[in-house]
Structure 1
Amino acid sequence: MKSDFESMKKLPRKSSKDYLELMHLALEMNDKEWFEELAKERERIEKIEEKIKLELGWKEDE
């Protein structure tokens, strides 16, 4: 697991918060297709984030 994490550290950040910012930009640009693509990807990433939090025993108040 640690080696997997080490290889991931160099990858660009890809979180649901990043996608939310891009979704706002798509709205400003009135680009419905891009917005919909970003919304789908954000939903997919949020599911992954939740799964990871459960696996790590994440506590919301930490």
Structure 2
Amino acid sequence: MNISLAQKARQNRIAALEYLRRTKQGAEAEGEVLNFFAHRAREKAKPVFFSVRARMDDERIAA
């Protein structure tokens, strides 16, 4: 019944990896986000830049 710390740590690592594998498979099936940074980059609105020339054209049209 005596389990060494190394054996217990190995069992815990194996259990954690198995849990992550199951979670990843389930998340992929459901379309959940696992990598926050990749999701954020995909979902982040692209900045819109207006040139000075475009602004000057708007001012000319308004005048």
The structure showing larger relative contact order (alpha-carbon pairs under 8 Å, at least 6 residues apart) is 1
TM-score using structure 1 length: 0.45
Higher gyration radius (CA): 2
TM-score using structure 2 length: 0.45
